[in-house]
């Protein structure tokens, strides 16, 4: 997989000169003298120190001895944002900053940085009643940058914090300079229309986006149960899908490999979405290929593990799953994936491109050994299976009905064969779900029945199958308006209402009725 993912990598480094070279006295205009005190005094008066552009007040003043500049220990460490302490018994200086610890001993030319010995050019010493330390060593140890202006006799120090800030500002300038241009909706479509395809499987329709020469990203639920698939390009050409390269079920993502190259440039994938951003979607709602719609990012979920992180006001529908969601720079920032039906608020959702990039990266690091569609978790056949086995299969694989109003779980499965030899499967729907959402979820109930019946007919092709889901509830009064066989007197003032919500019958053909 040809994937290049850019990440910000910032390394805080100290760009030091080859050494803090302090010019000999003769170069500074001071003749050699037998009087060390006089020459030292002259040099001290000539040297000043600045940190991040501000002159550092030092008392006593800096002293140069044998090419090494000494400054008061407490002033220099504190100016570089390190805490410092003095151990009088051992005459040892301790300094700590972030993850760095430093110790120096008066008179010793060996220091310790984070537990490792480090040689000094000159040992710390007492000068004019103050403990003085070599400036160059302190600056290097605390990752500061040191420069010396020999004409002005000024030592300029740039602290680690200033270096970091400078690097941040430079990175931000580079990012701003490289930011793509804003596009109109028409330009976004022109740039990406051919990169969005319609995905057709033996189970249904969806959409997908080209991310490589022969790879398409889509939603996992589009291809989860598929055994074969094709991608229809914008020009109408159909390309066979070889199988699934990899997937992330938790984030509803799958990457497909085509049998032949697509000859389409992949999308530019972007990151970062804010509430209120304008976005454009391209997909195939209801199989109407490469339909364009636009809207806003209505919300960004803060819930950990939520696959549909972006809520969008962009109109989408069944078949839009796996379609591209683009920002105003024409970058893919998500896949349109889900929505709430029977609402005028355009309550729709998308998977973030961050998870797409993560899946692509994982697959680049660990490519699959074999490209294929996912194996079915259903048996090849139920021919000769016991009624108990069929019931267990229904409970394990078909008990959940997912709808735009949420998921409900069927209860009390019962599998029998009637006097006519039909395989009869019965179950109960949650009465609360039915009462609240039955009408709004009616199409999803129908789809569940068609899908479940289709798979049962594959497993039991010789059987007449009837699959009935009932509403059942007990009341303390006799409900009115129901057929006589739908209301049962249980005694003790209790009455049970039971009637079919879903009735599926099929063999070579099927018929479905939904009462919702």
Task: Reduce the DSSP state of residue 496 to 3 states and report it.
Answer: strand
Residue 173 lies in a domain: no
pLDDT of residue 347: 87
Task: Reduce the DSSP state of residue 163 to 3 states and report it.
Answer: helix
38 pLDDT above the threshold of 80: no
pLDDT of residue 513: 96
- Phi first, then psi, for residue 425 (nearest 5°) are -120, 125
17 pLDDT above the threshold of 50: no
Same domain, 313 and 217: yes
Task: Reduce the DSSP state of residue 486 to 3 states and report it.
Answer: helix
Same domain, 304 and 198: yes
CATH of the domain at 86: 3.30.457.10
d(CA 20, CA 250): 57
228 phi-psi bin (left φ>0, alpha ψ -120 to 50, beta other): beta
Under the banding of pLDDT at 50, 70 and 90, the label for residue 485 is very high
Same domain, 404 and 354: no
Which has the minimum average pLDDT: 53-67, 238-252, 332-346?
Answer: 332-346
Residue 20 lies in a domain: no
Let me know the angle formed at the C-alpha of 334 by 278 and 255, rounded to the nearest 5 degrees: 160
pLDDT of residue 22: 35
From 282, 279, 276, select the one nearest 295 (Cα to Cα): 279
Under the banding of pLDDT at 50, 70 and 90, the label for residue 35 is very low
Residue 42 lies in a domain: no
Under the banding of pLDDT at 50, 70 and 90, the label for residue 128 is confident
Q: Which of 133, 164, 195 is the last residue of a domain?
A: 164
Mean pLDDT in residue range 35-59 = 70
With pLDDT > 70 as the criterion, what percentage of the chain qualifies? 91
CB 212 within 8 A of CB 225: no
Residue 495 lies in a domain: yes
pLDDT of residue 195: 97
Let me know the angle formed at the C-alpha of 233 by 232 and 239, rounded to the nearest 5 degrees: 55
CB 209 within 8 A of CB 332: yes
d(CA 278, CA 298): 10
Of 37 and 182, the structure prediction assigns the larger pLDDT to 182
Residue 426 lies in a domain: yes
Of 346 and 191, the structure prediction assigns the larger pLDDT to 191
pLDDT of residue 464: 96
d(CA 67, CA 59): 20
Residue 289 lies in a domain: yes
Which has the minimum average pLDDT: 7-21, 37-51, 213-227, 337-351?
Answer: 7-21
CB 329 within 8 A of CB 282: no
- Domain extent for 233: 185-365
* Sequence-distant (≥ 6) Cβ neighbours of residue 35 within 8 angstroms: none
Q: E-strand spans in 26-179?
A: 48-51, 54-55, 63-65, 68-72, 83-87, 92-97, 100-105, 110-113, 116-119, 125-127, 130-134, 145-149, 154-158
39 pLDDT above the threshold of 90: no
Enumerate the β-bridge partners of residue 468: 426, 503
Same domain, 63 and 157: yes
Same domain, 99 and 208: no
32 pLDDT above the threshold of 60: no
pLDDT of residue 302: 76
Task: Reduce the DSSP state of residue 359 to 3 states and report it.
Answer: helix
Under the banding of pLDDT at 50, 70 and 90, the label for residue 176 is confident
d(CA 165, CA 463): 74
**How many separate domains does the chain show?**
3
Residue 1 lies in a domain: no
List, for residues 302-316, the tens digit of each pLDDT value: 777 788 889 999 999
Same domain, 344 and 298: yes
pLDDT of residue 342: 67
Mean pLDDT in residue range 128-143 = 92
46 pLDDT above the threshold of 80: no
Under the banding of pLDDT at 50, 70 and 90, the label for residue 225 is confident
Same domain, 220 and 307: yes
Which helix (H) or strand (E) segment is 436 a member of?
A: helix 431-437
pLDDT of residue 405: 80
Same domain, 137 and 272: no
d(CA 196, CA 206): 11
Of 376 and 284, the structure prediction assigns the larger pLDDT to 284
Which span out of 42-51, 119-128, 371-380, 468-477 was modeled with the highest average pLDDT? 468-477
Determine the straight-line distance between the first and last CA of the chain, rounded to whole angstroms.
48
Q: Average pLDDT over the chain, rounded to whole? A: 88
CATH of the domain at 261: 2.40.10.120
Same domain, 157 and 207: no
Residue 5 lies in a domain: no
Mean pLDDT in residue range 365-382 = 91
- Length, in residues, of the chain: 516
125 pLDDT above the threshold of 70: yes
* 436-470 b/e (C-beta count within 10 Å ≥ 16 → b): ebbebbbebbbbbbeebbebbbebbeebbbbbbbb
Of 473 and 1, the structure prediction assigns the larger pLDDT to 473
88 pLDDT above the threshold of 60: yes
List, for residues 145-170, the tens digit of each pLDDT value: 999 888 888 999 999 999 999 999 99
29 pLDDT above the threshold of 60: no
8 pLDDT above the threshold of 50: no
d(CA 428, CA 498): 9
5 pLDDT above the threshold of 50: no
Same domain, 292 and 199: yes
From 292, 388, 295, 404, select the one nearest 339 (Cα to Cα): 404
Under the banding of pLDDT at 50, 70 and 90, the label for residue 375 is confident
Which helix (H) or strand (E) segment is 241 a member of?
A: strand 238-248
d(CA 172, CA 164): 12
d(CA 474, CA 490): 9
CB 352 within 8 A of CB 389: no
d(CA 317, CA 331): 22
Mean pLDDT in residue range 324-339 = 94
Same domain, 160 and 305: no
DSSP H helices, 134-218, are: 135-141, 160-178, 185-192
Express the helix, strand and coil content of the chain in percent, nearest 5 each: 20, 35, 40
Under the banding of pLDDT at 50, 70 and 90, the label for residue 34 is very low
143 pLDDT above the threshold of 60: yes
d(CA 16, CA 14): 6
Mean pLDDT in residue range 412-422 = 96
* Sequence-distant (≥ 6) Cβ neighbours of residue 10 within 8 angstroms: 164, 167, 168, 171
Same domain, 325 and 401: no
From the number of C-beta atoms within 10 Å of its C-beta (0-12, 13-18, 19+), residue 225 rates as middle
């Amino acid at each position: 997989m040809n994937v290049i993912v850019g990440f910000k990598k910032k390394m805080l480094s100290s760009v030091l000169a080859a050494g803090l070279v302090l010019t000999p006295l003769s170069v500074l205009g001071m003749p050699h003298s037998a009087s060390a005190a006089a020459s030292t005094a002259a040099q001290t008066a000539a040297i000043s120190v600045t940190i991040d552009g501000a002159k550092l007040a030092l008392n006593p003043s800096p002293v140069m001895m044998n090419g090494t500049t000494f400054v008061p220990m407490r002033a220099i460490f504190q100016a570089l944002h390190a805490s410092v302490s003095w151990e009088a018994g051992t005459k040892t200086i301790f300094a700590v900053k972030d993850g760095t610890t430093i110790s120096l001993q008066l008179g010793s030319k060996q220091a310790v940085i984070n537990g490792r010995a480090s040689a000094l050019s000159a040992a710390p010493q007492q000068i004019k009643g103050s403990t003085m330390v070599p400036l160059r060593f302190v600056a290097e140890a605390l990752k500061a940058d040191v420069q010396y202006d020999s004409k002005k006799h000024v030592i300029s120090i740039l602290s680690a914090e200033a270096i970091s800030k400078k690097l941040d500002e430079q990175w931000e300038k580079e990012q701003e300079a490289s930011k793509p241009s804003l596009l109109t909706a028409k330009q976004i479509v022109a740039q990406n229309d051919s990169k969005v395809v319609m995905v057709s499987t033996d189970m249904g329709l969806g959409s997908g986006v080209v991310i490589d020469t022969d790879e398409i990203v889509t939603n996992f639920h589009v291809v989860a149960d598929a055994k074969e698939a094709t991608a229809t390009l914008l020009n109408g050409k159909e390309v066979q899908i070889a199988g699934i390269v990899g997937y992330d079920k938790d984030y509803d993502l799958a990457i497909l490999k085509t049998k032949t190259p697509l000859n389409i440039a992949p999308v530019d994938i972007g990151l970062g979405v804010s509430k209120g951003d304008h976005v454009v979607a391209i997909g195939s709602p209801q199989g109407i290929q490469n339909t364009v719609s636009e809207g806003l990012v209505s919300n960004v979920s803060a819930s950990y593990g939520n696959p549909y992180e972006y809520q969008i006001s962009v109109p989408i529908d069944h078949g839009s799953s796996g379609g591209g969601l683009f920002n105003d720079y024409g970058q893919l920032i998500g896949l349109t994936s889900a929505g709430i039906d029977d609402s005028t608020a355009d309550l729709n959702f998308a998977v973030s491109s961050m998870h797409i990039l993560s899946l692509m990266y994982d697959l680049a690091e660990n490519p699959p050994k074999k490209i294929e569609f996912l194996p079915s978790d259903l048996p090849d056949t139920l021919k000769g299976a016991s009624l108990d086995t069929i019931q267990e299969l229904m409970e394990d694989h078909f008990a959940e009905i997912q709808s735009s109003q949420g998921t409900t779980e069927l209860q009390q499965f019962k599998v029998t064969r009637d006097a006519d030899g039909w395989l009869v499967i019965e179950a109960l729907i949650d009465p609360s779900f039915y009462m609240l959402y039955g009408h709004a979820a009616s199409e999803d109930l129908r789809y569940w029945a068609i899908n479940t019946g289709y798979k049962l007919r594959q497993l039991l092709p010789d059987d007449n199958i009837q699959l009935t889901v009932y509403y059942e509830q007990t009341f303390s009064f006799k409900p009115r308006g129901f057929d006589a066989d739908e209301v049962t007197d249980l005694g003790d003032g209790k009455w049970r209402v039971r009637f079919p919500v879903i009735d599926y019958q099929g063999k070579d053909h099927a018929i479905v009725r939904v009462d919702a």
